[in-house]
């Protein structure tokens, strides 16, 4: 149960699609009410006998206080209401030929220029397709380089793929932040679908500043750094202190400039994930770091978080991220993957990963004064399909 609820949090924050299986075998772990099996004398003070859950795999029993149960119920009720104004799948250029045993969701990291960590409007500088195989539980992540030259539906000239999210936000002139974010996500998904012949219809978008708060709520993260990475993080944060920071000026202890595992706070971890300016490096290295940070965060959530910590962290997360998936759906999907996760050895890789463009398959160019990365989109659509599905499924 603890791992299930922790996985739920990870899905809400970073990878809200790690499990989309709809059918379970009878022996799979399920969450269900077991009021009859919970002796009254075992129920802790302050809990309601109706708020008792059991982990059938381990036999552990978990009790929710009335406050915790109300909070859980409120997430479900609020998200169901918001889902009524969802994105129309018919507007997303979905590839109907892809098998339905794999579900793909777009993870978008937004480079907002606002000091408000709750504002998710700007360039979609991180775009990762998270793919989950319903039959096997396999998780695969595909990073798309932000400077990739693509066609954005509704716009005449090709441009960088990270512009799609911002273009979509800008289409909503007088709407709310939520409406702008949803419009940006819709165009970002449609752009990925059209250029890579995918079928993405759900997303999670997160403000980079908000990600720092989420990492801080997790207590920071331990990451193995090179000497150059540690030096660069210190240098950048000293010269460009973020407008939004959970630490007061002078409070942050600089990292040791040496190779090895170091503990990073939220801003330092986000800076690690955004580093691409070390000698001999570029945006390819940055996407590698982004996927690595996600995996480390997920491992920490799975290994170290109890229910109380989970609920507190969700409170932080919901303010800084936006998703088309409602809470109840994520809760149900999270539990379906648990049988796979419980069989994993500690420290084992949680997912396979790739990035596009592939090595040796791209060139740099200047388009309207901006540096872009050019590559054969059909060739890379084929590569993504083969990575996710094992074969190519052309859209037409």
Higher local confidence (pLDDT), 214 or 385:
385
Domain assignment of residue 202, yes or no: yes
The answer to whether residues 171 and 278 belong to one domain is: no
Query: Per-residue confidence at 349, pLDDT binned at 50, 70, 90?
Result: low
CATH code of the domain covering residue 270: 3.40.630.190
Find the mean pLDDT for residues 317-329. 73
Query: 293-302, 347-356, 359-368: which has the highest mean pLDDT?
Result: 359-368
Distances (CA, A) of 287 to 197, 248, 292, 355, 356: 21, 29, 9, 8, 10
Rounded Cα–Cα distance for residues 14 and 37 (Å): 35
Residues 165-198 pLDDT 10s: 999 999 999 889 889 999 999 999 999 999 999 9
Q: Beta-carbon neighbour count of residue 102 at 10 Å?
A: 20
Identify the pLDDT of residue 345: 65
Residues 256-295 pLDDT 10s: 999 999 999 989 998 898 887 677 676 678 778 877 887 7
Domain assignment of residue 300, yes or no: no
Identify the pLDDT of residue 252: 87
pLDDT, the chain, mean: 76
Domain assignment of residue 296, yes or no: no
Domain assignment of residue 394, yes or no: no
Residues 300-320 pLDDT 10s: 876 666 666 666 676 677 677
The answer to whether residues 8 and 59 belong to one domain is: yes
Asked if the model's pLDDT at residue 51 lies above 70, the reply is: no
Quick one: tokens of 29? 């772990």
SS3 per residue for the chain: CHHHHHHHHHHHHCCCCCCCCCCCCCCCCCCCECHHHCCHHHCCCCEEEEEEEECCCCCCEEEEEHHHHHHHHHHHHHHHHHHCCCCCHHHCCCCCCCCCCEEEEEEEEEECCCCCCCCCCCEEEEEEEEEEECCCCCEEEEEECCCEEECCCCCCCCEECCHHHHHHHHCCCCCCHHHHHHHHHHHHHHHHHHHHCCCCCCEEEEEHHHHHHHHHHCCCEEEEECHHHHHHHHHHHHHCCCCCCCCCCCCCCCCCCCCEEEEECHHHHHHHHHCCCCCCCCHHHHHHHHHHHHHHHHHHHHHHCCHHHHHHHHHHHHHHEEECCCHHHHHHHHHHHHHHHCCCCCCCCCCEEEEECCCCCCEEEEECCEEEEECCHHHHHHHHHHHHCCCCCCCC
Give, in degrees to the nearest 5, the angle at Cα 117 between 116 and 118: 90
The answer to whether residues 160 and 113 belong to one domain is: yes
Asked if the model's pLDDT at residue 36 lies above 70, the reply is: no
Going by C-beta distance under 8 Å and a sequence separation of 6 or more, which residues neighbour residue 67?
A: none
Identify the pLDDT of residue 152: 95
Domains of the chain: total: 2
Higher local confidence (pLDDT), 357 or 325:
357
Residue 111 CA, distance from chain mean position: 15
Q: What dihedral do alpha carbons 280, 281, 284, 287 form, nearest 10°?
A: 160
Rounded Cα–Cα distance for residues 198 and 389 (Å): 11
The answer to whether residues 158 and 224 belong to one domain is: no
Identify the pLDDT of residue 69: 63
Higher local confidence (pLDDT), 361 or 89:
361
Identify the pLDDT of residue 382: 98
CATH code of the domain covering residue 334: 3.30.420.590
The answer to whether residues 263 and 236 belong to one domain is: yes
Residues 119-153 pLDDT 10s: 889 999 889 998 888 777 778 889 999 899 999 99
Query: Per-residue confidence at 222, pLDDT binned at 50, 70, 90?
Result: very high
Identify the pLDDT of residue 262: 95
Domain assignment of residue 188, yes or no: yes
The answer to whether residues 236 and 164 belong to one domain is: no
Identify the pLDDT of residue 241: 82
Residues 107-118 pLDDT 10s: 898 888 676 777
Asked if the model's pLDDT at residue 90 lies above 50, the reply is: yes
Identify the pLDDT of residue 304: 64
Identify the pLDDT of residue 291: 77
The answer to whether residues 69 and 163 belong to one domain is: yes
Domain assignment of residue 393, yes or no: no
Q: Beta-carbon neighbour count of residue 25 at 10 Å?
A: 6
Identify the pLDDT of residue 392: 98
Identify the pLDDT of residue 125: 86
Quick one: tokens of 139? 């998780």
Higher local confidence (pLDDT), 269 or 250:
269
Rounded Cα–Cα distance for residues 204 and 185 (Å): 8
Going by C-beta distance under 8 Å and a sequence separation of 6 or more, which residues neighbour residue 219?
A: none
Q: Of 247, 268, 291, at which residue does a domain stop?
A: 291
Task: Tell me which residue range forms the domain holding 42.
Answer: 2-206+306-388
The answer to whether residues 154 and 232 belong to one domain is: no
Identify the pLDDT of residue 314: 67
Asked if the model's pLDDT at residue 21 lies above 60, the reply is: no
The answer to whether residues 202 and 216 belong to one domain is: no
Asked if the model's pLDDT at residue 11 lies above 60, the reply is: no
Identify the pLDDT of residue 52: 56
Q: Of 291, 320, 348, at which residue does a domain stop?
A: 291
Q: Does the global pTM surpass 0.75? A: no
Identify the pLDDT of residue 218: 84
Going by C-beta distance under 8 Å and a sequence separation of 6 or more, which residues neighbour residue 64?
A: 47, 48, 51, 52, 53, 72, 307
Domain assignment of residue 299, yes or no: no
The answer to whether residues 52 and 189 belong to one domain is: yes
* Lowest-confidence pick of 49-63, 194-208, 332-346: 49-63
Q: Beta-carbon neighbour count of residue 306 at 10 Å?
A: 12
Domain assignment of residue 301, yes or no: no
Quick one: tokens of 389? 């599905």
Q: Of 231, 256, 291, at which residue does a domain stop?
A: 291
The answer to whether residues 51 and 95 belong to one domain is: yes
The answer to whether residues 350 and 264 belong to one domain is: no
Rounded Cα–Cα distance for residues 9 and 321 (Å): 12
């Amino acid at each position: 149960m603890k791992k299930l609820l922790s996985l739920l949090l990870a899905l809400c924050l970073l990878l809200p699609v790690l499990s989309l299986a709809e059918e379970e075998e009878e022996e799979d772990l399920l969450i269900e009410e077991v009021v009859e099996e919970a002796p009254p004398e075992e129920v802790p003070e302050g809990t309601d006998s109706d708020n008792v859950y059991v982990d059938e795999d381990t036999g552990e029993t978990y009790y929710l206080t009335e406050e915790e149960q109300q909070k859980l119920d409120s997430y479900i009720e609020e998200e169901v209401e918001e889902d009524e104004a969802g994105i129309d799948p018919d507007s997303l250029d979905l590839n109907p030929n892809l098998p339905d045993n794999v579900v793909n969701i777009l993870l978008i990291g937004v480079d907002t220029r606002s000091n408000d960590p709750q504002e998710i409007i700007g360039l979609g500088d991180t775009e990762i397709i998270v793919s989950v195989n319903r039959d096997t539980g396999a998780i695969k992540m595909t990073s798309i380089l932000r400077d990739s030259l693509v066609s954005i539906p509704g716009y005449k000239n090709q441009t960088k793929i990270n512009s799609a999210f911002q273009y979509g936000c800008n289409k909503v002139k007088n709407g709310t932040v939520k409406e702008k974010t949803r419009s940006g996500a819709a165009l970002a998904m449609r752009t990925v679908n059209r250029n890579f012949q995918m079928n993405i219809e759900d997303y999670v978008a997160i403000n980079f500043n908000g990600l720092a708060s989420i990492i801080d709520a997790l207590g920071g993260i331990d990451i193995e750094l090179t000497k150059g990475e540690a030096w660069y993080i210190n240098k950048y944060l000293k010269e460009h202190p973020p407008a939004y920071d959970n630490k007061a000026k002078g409070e942050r202890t600089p990292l040791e400039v040496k190779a090895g595992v170091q503990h990073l706070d939220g801003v330092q971890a986000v800076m690690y994930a955004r580093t691409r300016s070390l000698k001999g490096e570029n945006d390819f290295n940055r996407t590698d770091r982004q996927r690595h940070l996600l995996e480390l965060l997920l491992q920490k959530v799975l290994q170290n978080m109890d229910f109380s910590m989970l609920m507190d962290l969700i409170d932080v997360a919901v303010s800084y991220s936006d998703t088309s998936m409602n809470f109840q759906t994520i809760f149900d999907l999270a539990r379906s993957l648990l049988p796979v996760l419980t069989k994993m050895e500690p420290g084992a890789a949680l997912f396979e990963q790739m990035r596009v463009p592939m090595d040796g398959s791209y060139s740099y160019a200047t388009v309207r004064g901006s540096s872009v990365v050019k590559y054969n989109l059909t060739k890379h659509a084929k590569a993504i399909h083969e990575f996710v599905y094992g074969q190519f499924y052309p859209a037409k």
